[in-house]
Structure 1
Amino acid sequence: MSLTRRGLLAAGALLLAPPARAGDGAGLRLAIVGAGVAGSSAAFALRRLLPGASIDVFEPLPAYHACFGANQALAGWLDDGALLHRHEAIRAAGMGLRVEGVERIDLDGERPRIAGTAYDHAVIAAGISIRPPDYEGYDPAVLPPFWTAGESILPLRERIDALDDGANVVLLAPPAPYRCPPAPYERATAIAARLKARGKRGRIAILDAKSSFPKQALFEDAWRRLYPGMIEWYPVEAIGRILRLDLGAKRVETETGAFAFDLLHVVPPQRAGAVAGNSGLVDATGWVPVAGAGFRTAVSPRISAVGDACIPGDMPKSAFSARAQALLMAGTLAAEWLGRAAPPADLFNTCYSRLSADETVIVGGSYGIVDGRIKAREGFISKVGESAQQRRANRDEGAAWIAEFSRTVFEGEG
């Protein structure tokens, strides 16, 4: 695990090193759409590598409510305020911050154009949007997903706290790919922990669109030990398709039966942020296909896409992955524009899942680029039966990571 963290820091230091040759990017005009993890990471990296370039960052939200750590805030293990990040550092670094949404990117000849302005290169870091599910009764206004940037987790926590002892919670887990693969199961764990901490019992049914899920053995072991009888997972083979959400009768109808609920939490299917679809950058999957270390789109080599919006290969959609992709993209493009050697195409990901106040488990891996696509190299994962000391060490490492990662991404440090 320490190798992965050291590897990422080394890669970041290389990508953010000052240009090795003369030239600072003067005359280049760059646009970044989105100021979440991927967009902010790309912006600060490009500013460091190309101090003479003109960089505009488009972001409709005045502040970014991070998704990483949201489940910990739901359980009460992390202050929700620690997940709220404003964008003053972007302006302070000499970049243009335009607090507005981008509906689409047009091509003006070869150059991408946004709101009437032509750019030499545009970066899509638009995150996710909700793909309407194929079952009846879903209304995101009534059932907010609490899964996208800008959403505080506190309203969901208030709904959980209002539940009576013995309440039924139903959580719908989406088909892959989606933002943060282990997160629906960590969320069910956080709900159970919140109920338990308040002296309540409850039954949480996870109705899944998949046959398996990440860290499955670790989660199921934790559910048996820490929350016995509270969490039950139903794979798609057991329930078939979700047919209908009957909000009046408070039940979810599936092909094999119905599940009553006092609280329904839908994690809906997902796709790339709307600007990607409106710009014709997505394929039939709803995500943006990209190629190479420059993460260039198939539509135009002058448009790159990084983070959750893209499908680059084997990497999961996570905050750690988004930053790693943004740094590699920035280093690769800057090297091309300045005529210097490209950075090594090394990528890393680590994902922390909190199981209780004292336990955290970790999964991660290293990646390279083969034939233009990201391919997994080596990986690691926590083990069932680890010592309490190891799980507490994982917890402390994860807490330190959230603080360090937030400063690095949103304040441009490091």
Structure 2
Amino acid sequence: MNLKECEQMKHKHIILLVFASIFLILFSGGIVSVILPLYLNALGISLVSMGLIFSLAPIVGIFVKSVVAVHSDVVGRKGYFSLAFLLRTVSYGFYSICRVPIGFAILKTLDSLSQYTRNAVELPLLVDISPKETLGRVLGVYWAILSVASAIGLFISGVILHLIGYFWLFLLCSLISFTGLVLFRIARIPTFKAKNVHFHLKKLFNFKELSWNLKVVFIIRFVMSFGFSLAELFAFPLFLQQDFNADSAFIGMAIGLSSLMEGIPALLWRKMTETHSPVKLYFLGAGLTGLATMLMSVTPDLISTISLYILSGLFWGFAGPANMKVLAESAKSSDKARDITLSGLGNGIGIMTGSIMSGVIAHVAGFRPLFIITGTLYSTCALIFLLGIRGYK
């Protein structure tokens, strides 16, 4: 085996371990994302209070994610990636014993800080450790893992809840997250530091330095996240439970299937974004996702509702990888994490505002109007992406 082959094997080993750690943290997150709203509801916490619990985290997360992104371009990603696993391990552990809204607000903020920290460095980390000639395939597999790992967690969440109850479920998820940290440390990733790049607070929110495409992505991620928070973040499981009397096992399986479908296009068509325009793929995927979501507002029964939700997951499987490719190719090499994170700040703002509005609208008018609004927003984003993104045919 020559030197080049040894280097390829080393890169492959590192990437596989990083993928395994990402899989575990997303798997545990998928379980908790379904069970937490049901747990809060079982404790008698109101919809408005839930909206506030889910909205507080982005307020802190928006600033923290920006600082982490800029600082990681200077000092490397490894330490921050490890911190994300630790924060999630702690928050999941304490979910098991918490009973009051203020406690859940604090723990959800801690949990979300884990997610914001990981999101700030995860994609740039994969770009750092991947050979340039295989980056497209690595990102394709990464997207599939994002969907499949969460899907499996979502799918079995209700079953696990029935078997071991809330207390042990949260402790199990805490242990899974810690295992992901162990795997990541075993990978022994070399430290990638940008040369001649220094940490400056003024770079955190300097939108003028973003490329045109990333500015468009900022707007789209705000609108998409606002819509997602309205109808899906915590409202959808409660909608299935309260309007159709679905139990937690069925809810988890249904949401898990939808998430699994998001990974199918990337798994079956690995060169999807290399052989076709990511702009057209996003327009197709996001537009059809919006249509399916709007139709969920008039479904007469549980089966038709779930069918549309699963279809929306499949449609989004075309839009997600396309968005990821535009992000990766539009960020400057010296400020990858900063550019990707700054363009994604709209995501945090959208979640914050959408979560509050979701609880209020659901309390006043019920759940179904949420799907009309969200579907319209998804379709609007498809059109903005098609008309606004430059440099792609």
Q: TM-score range by the shorter chain?
A: under 0.3
Please report the TM-score for the alignment, with normalisation by the length of structure 1: 0.24
Greater C-alpha Rg: 1
Using CA pairs under 8 Å that are at least 6 residues apart, name the structure with larger relative contact order, 1 or 2: 2
Structure having the higher helix fraction is 2
